[in-house]
Amino acid sequence: MLVRCIRAFRPGGVLYRAFATVRYHQRGDPADVLRLEADDDVSELGPREVAVKMLFAPINPSDINQVEGSYGVLPTLPAVGGNEGVGEVTAVGSDVTRLAVGDWAVPMPAAGFGTWRNVGKADVSMLQKCPSDIPAEYAATIGVNPCTAYRLLRDFETLREGDTVIQNGANSQVGVAVIQMARDMGVRTINVVRERPPGDNTVELLKSLGADVVVTPAVLGVADDYAEAVAGLPPPRLGLNCVGGSIATSVAKQLDEGGALVSYGGMSLRPITLPATILQDKGVRCDGFWITRWTQDRPREEREAMIADVAEMIKSGRLRSFLERHRFTQFSQAMKEARKPYRSRKVLLDMSR
Ligand SMILES: NC(=O)c1ccc[n+]([C@@H]2O[C@H](COP(=O)([O-])OP(=O)(O)OC[C@H]3O[C@@H](n4cnc5c(N)ncnc54)[C@H](OP(=O)(O)O)[C@@H]3O)[C@@H](O)[C@H]2O)c1
């Protein structure tokens, strides 16, 4: 991966770093295909265009899948990497009324506006105003993971206080948002995380956020051990799956009669297989969720209201994320970190460094 710093001189003679855009011209391993290129020219704007200076942008699993070519929606090549982030509006075209200079803007999911860049311009329909009274790091990650958790807890089962939700990949950023939003609703969570390496504090971290039970796949797979771990909790009404394979099957087996299994990711790259009895006898329903499809199907105002709601949770301290800042100038290193297993922190690119 060719990522180096482009150096330039400011008129005053002070050396500064004008980092640029991480782009790919063919799909493949991010380590091979991502290239550093010069920033786009944002000096001339069309009437519907908006120019932004990017502040922060995460590296999400879906960004990596998109570069590899294995994601549900693929941008036309060449493409700029990254789908999430927050930018400050620096200029707007003559017809733009929804955004103004100084606003913070986040891209609409899978709009095709790559976020791994210092500056960029886009049609106003690709961007959405974001509250600027939350930390910029949180704004950069508000549009996908917390919104997914928000929908997963509302759209598939009517959850009441005292109900239980079970989820795998519970230490993913979607998972930690599920834990905190469920806690706010009075809903208990059973959280499945892979066996951790020595010294890892993921279990303590999840419990500090309000996780009621944290178990490994091994415990989930042994009836007596699982029964002991979840003693006192009602069988879960909702199961959330972002892993697939045998862990998805185990989650489905714990569901209450008539409960729902909702898949939103496939981190293990394995298919989900379910015994017929789960569907026939227990009447478990299976569904899927994709925030991109949801955004396309729903009015913009509904998404704006959801983001405002999530921003309130952030402001009041009810929703925390675990983010690890990396310099954009060290993109290669940041990408290596993002691809490592057993991380409980999202890699976030700081575009100013
Ligand atoms: N459908 C949607 O709308 C939507 C929206 C947002 C996210 N997603 C999907 O949700 C998933 C989580 O996203 P995120 O950004 O929250 O993730 P993240 O914070 O980057 O965390 C990744 C998670 O995946 C787990 N994981 C990685 N490889 C695994 C494997 N081989 N087997 C089991 N677990 C594995 C990690 O566990 P360890 O710590 O044990 O490595 C961690 O819990 C991804 O698949 C993403 O594409 C979907």
Identify which of 174, 203, 246 to mutate to test ligand 1's pocket (most ligand atoms within 8 A of the CB): 174
The proportion of the chain whose per-residue pLDDT surpasses 70, expressed as a percent, equals 94
pLDDT per residue over 182-216, tens digit each? 999 999 999 999 999 999 999 999 999 999 999 99
CA of 98 to the centre of ligand 1 (A): 33
Query: Does the C-beta of 245 come closer than 6 Å to ligand 1?
Result: no
Query: Does the C-beta of 197 come closer than 6 Å to ligand 1?
Result: no
What SS3 class is residue 22?
Answer: strand
CB-CB contact of 87 with 105 (8 Å) = yes
CA of 146 to the centre of ligand 1 (A): 13
Q: Measure CA 229 to chain center.
A: 29
- The alpha carbon dihedral of 295, 160, 254, 260 has a sign of negative
Give me the mean pLDDT over the 79-98 stretch: 97
- Is 71 considered catalytic here? yes
Q: Looking at 71, 138, 226, 264, which residue is catalytic?
A: 71
CB-CB contact of 36 with 42 (8 Å) = no
What SS3 class is residue 351?
Answer: coil
Give me the mean pLDDT over the 261-277 stretch: 96
3-state helix, strand, coil in the chain (%, to 5): 30, 25, 45
The half-sphere exposure of 296 on its side-chain side, counting CA atoms within 13 A, is 9
Residue 19 confidence class, pLDDT cut points 50, 70, 90: low
Q: What is the pLDDT of residue 265?
A: 96
Query: Does the C-beta of 173 come closer than 6 Å to ligand 1?
Result: yes
pLDDT of residue 16 exceeding 70: no
Q: Which residue's C-alpha comes closest to atom 26 of ligand 1?
A: 267
What single string gives the DSSP state of each residue in 44-76? S--TTEEEEEEEEEE--HHHHHHHHT-SSS-PP
Average pLDDT, the chain: 92
Phi, psi of 303, rounded to the nearest 5 degrees: -65, -40
Q: Are strands 104-107 and 86-92 parallel, antiparallel or unpaired?
A: antiparallel
Rounded CA separation 321/311 (Å): 12
53-89 burial, b at 16+ Cβ within 10 Å, e below that, comes to: bbbbbbbbbbbbbbbeeebeebbeeebbbbbbbbbbb
CA of 172 to the centre of ligand 1 (A): 5
Query: Does the C-beta of 174 come closer than 6 Å to ligand 1?
Result: yes
Query: Does the C-beta of 64 come closer than 6 Å to ligand 1?
Result: no
CA of 217 to the centre of ligand 1 (A): 15
pLDDT of residue 224 exceeding 80: yes
pLDDT per residue over 162-172, tens digit each? 999 999 999 99
Rounded CA separation 126/111 (Å): 6
CATH number 3.30.365.10 is the correct assignment for the domain at 145-292: no
Phi, psi of 223, rounded to the nearest 5 degrees: -50, -45
Rounded CA separation 61/50 (Å): 27
Element (H, E) at 338: helix 331-338
How many C-beta atoms lie closer than 10 Å to residue 290's C-beta?
18
Considering only 33-42, 180-189, 253-262, 336-345, which range has the smallest mean pLDDT? 33-42
Domain ranges across the chain? 7-141+321-350, 145-292
Q: Measure CA 21 to chain center.
A: 21
Instruction: Name which CATH class applies to 7-141+321-350.
Output: alpha beta
How many C-beta atoms lie closer than 10 Å to residue 271's C-beta?
9
Rounded CA separation 215/5 (Å): 44
Q: Which atom of ligand 1 is nearest to the CA of 58?
A: 15
Give me the mean pLDDT over the 113-123 stretch: 94
Q: What is the pLDDT of residue 2?
A: 37
Q: What is the pLDDT of residue 33?
A: 97
One-letter amino acid for residue 48 of the chain? R
